[in-house]
Chain A
Amino acid sequence: MVLELSPTVLDMDWQETARRIELFIKDYIRKTGAKGIVLGLSGGIDSCTVAALSARAIGGNKVLGLMLPEKETRIAKDIEHAKLVAEKFMLKIQLCDITPTLEALYKTLPAFDPADKVCKGNIKARTRMTYIYYYANKLNRIVCGSSDKSETMMGYFTKWGDVAADISPIMDLYKTQVQKLAEYIGIPKPIIRKPPTPALWPGQTAETELGMKYEQLDLILYGLEHFMKSAEITKQLSLKKEQAERIKNRWLSTEHKRRMLLTAKLGYRTVGADFRLMRD
């Protein structure tokens, strides 16, 4: 008997899920004694959902969404969407255009290659991280990340960039699950429906880069999560040959982006290996 990969396997009780996430956020704030939350608010579904959940958990006046556009990827609609969510869930927002910072970086990097859009794009994500952590540091708050399970498993993020956070409340939800949750908590429909993008270069969309629709990707990842063999996943979802295998390899080869500390085992107990300590 094998698991049947129908879209319903991704169904959850959204009320219960929202409640659990809010409890998690509230509890972490209490334990750390932080004065609130700072997060990057791009206007995309993930960050809008996390912003809303954070506001529901600890009150919008303790949640600051930073809108960090830059000229190459700036889309007026995204800023409008971020503002819409801020208004609806009563959280604070701040807009900082990071273009001058990026240009200063490009200018002072001797090896800078404008044609290499991935390297350049990663600078954008890491610059946004720097801004977000500055605010968190200054305001004695924690950073709440918006990464979802699909992009995290795929390694589809910038190491030390958009993924950098103190807590990541929706990291155990696949993108299509985040869409359902977003709908449940009342994120405006246009935000849920627009194509997700990391905004590293103009016209970039996640589904084009990942090579398939999230509906399909999430079922493949769900299968892998449940120890299914890629051949079985391919058969059940009528995929092209080796498609599931490609996703599996990408998932396995990007573990270095998800686990940040690795050293040679030399001592008795080692950081990142067998120092097993409590973190909350």
Chain B
Amino acid sequence: MSCERGNKPANIKKIEKTVARAKKQKADLVIFPELSLTGYVLKDQLYELAEPIPGSSTKIIEDIAKKAKLHLVFGMPELSEKTQATLYNTAVLVGPEGFIGKYRKMYLPTHSVFEEKRYFRGGYETAAFDTDLGKIGLTICYDMFFPEVSRLTRLKGAQIIVCISASPAVRRAFFETLTAARAIENTAFLIYVNLVGIENGLQFWGGSRLVGPQGKVLVKAKYDEEDFVMGEVNYADITPIETFVPVLRDLRPELFDKLKEAAEKL
């Protein structure tokens, strides 16, 4: 999906149209990119566009999900209810019954062309939500570089890890590798959904994909162009790989304390 920046009604309309199309094809879960409600490069306009979650925009999207009787993930700038200008970069999960949960991006890129920490506060909790479709973990973009985020969603029981993203073309190779790695090391399905379009010279590369628990790309959307692709998740596919490469069985929790110590002393 490419976004009309700052134009929520236009982006909601696009979401609604896509959901209608997905419904016709009997989809259960429809996923849109990071900050798909607003676009990604928004600079100071973010303060105007951010909303509490749940809030008026999530309400509209909830209605879309309810009407279509399916689950939907999208991204938006969230405004903290307790302050007037504390923002989060948030992924929202809604379902046929309405709002299910949200995830506030933990790793905010603030280097190179990215300036997320200037605007957003990082989240403090990983997220995995029970749904009729199974447990779904939510992550966002740069989180992919930090295996602990998807690992924690997996340890909470998520067998589908969703990563919504706004990744520019110069980083495509990283994400193509990392998404497969996160799927393999967690023996889980990983759904990566990336923005397309050009914002402030950044060319988002699309290439959204469903990756199987063995790291195989099961379906892939076009590069650089808007696209609509569907894939099927069969949880039974996890069992053979969980015994073939039993990474979860073999986790060594005592190393995580060492990791913490070492990271603090970096």
Interface of A with B (CB < 8 Å)? Answer: 20, 23-24, 27-28, 269, 275-280
Contact = CB atoms under 8 A, between A and B. Distances in A.
Interface string B43-85: 1110000000000000000000000000000000000000000
A107 B174 CA distance: 59
Contacts, number: 31
B137 interface: no
B198 A278 contact: no
A24 B43 contact: no
Contacts of A275: 44
Nearest to A26: B198
B198 A27 contact: yes
A278 B45 contact: yes
Nearest to B4: A31
Give the interface centre of B44, B45, B198, B200 by most chain A CB atoms within 10 Å: B198
A269 B200 CA distance: 21
Nearest to B44: A276
A136 to B, nearest CB: 20
A24 B200 contact: no
B122 interface: no
B233 to A, nearest CB: 32
A278 B5 contact: yes
B173 to A, nearest CB: 11
18 contacts: A20-B203, A23-B203, A23-B224, A24-B203, A27-B198, A275-B44, A276-B44, A277-B44, A278-B5, A278-B41, A278-B42, A278-B45, A278-B199, A278-B200, A280-B198, A280-B199, A280-B200, A280-B201
A280 B198 CA distance: 9
Nearest to B5: A278
Contacts of B199: 278, 280
Contacts of B169: 20
Interface in B194-210: 197-201, 203
Contacts of B200: 278-280
Secondary structure call for the A interface: loop
Contact of B43 (A20, A23, A27, A276): A276
B124 to A, nearest CB: 26
Contacts of B157: none
B198 A277 contact: no
A278 B43 contact: yes
A280 B43 CA distance: 12
Contacts of B6: 278
B44 A23 contact: no
Contacts of A269: 44
Interface of B: 5-6, 41-45, 169, 197-201, 203, 224
Nearest to B39: A278
B45 A27 contact: no
Contacts of A278: 5-6, 41-43, 45, 199-200
Contacts of B42: 278
A66 B44 CA distance: 38
Contacts of B43: 276-278
A23 B203 CA distance: 9
Given A23-B198, A24-B203, A278-B6, 10 more contacts: A20-B169, A20-B203, A28-B198, A275-B44, A276-B44, A278-B42, A278-B45, A278-B199, A280-B199, A280-B200
B45 A24 contact: no
Contacts of B201: 24, 280
A210 B100 CA distance: 62
A264 to B, nearest CB: 20
Contacts of A280: 198-201
A170 to B, nearest CB: 13
Nearest to A31: B198
Nearest to A280: B200
B197 A27 contact: yes
Give the top 6 A-B pairs by smallest Cβ distance, nearest first: A276-B43, A27-B198, A276-B44, A277-B43, A278-B43, A280-B200
A20 B45 CA distance: 27
A275 B45 CA distance: 10
A277 B45 contact: yes
A225 to B, nearest CB: 12
A275 B199 CA distance: 18
A279 B41 CA distance: 10
A280 B39 CA distance: 12
Contacts of A23: 198, 203, 224
A20 B204 CA distance: 11
A277 B203 CA distance: 18
Nearest to A276: B43
A179 B24 CA distance: 51
A276 B6 CA distance: 14
A4 to B, nearest CB: 20
Contacts of A20: 169, 203
B244 to A, nearest CB: 36
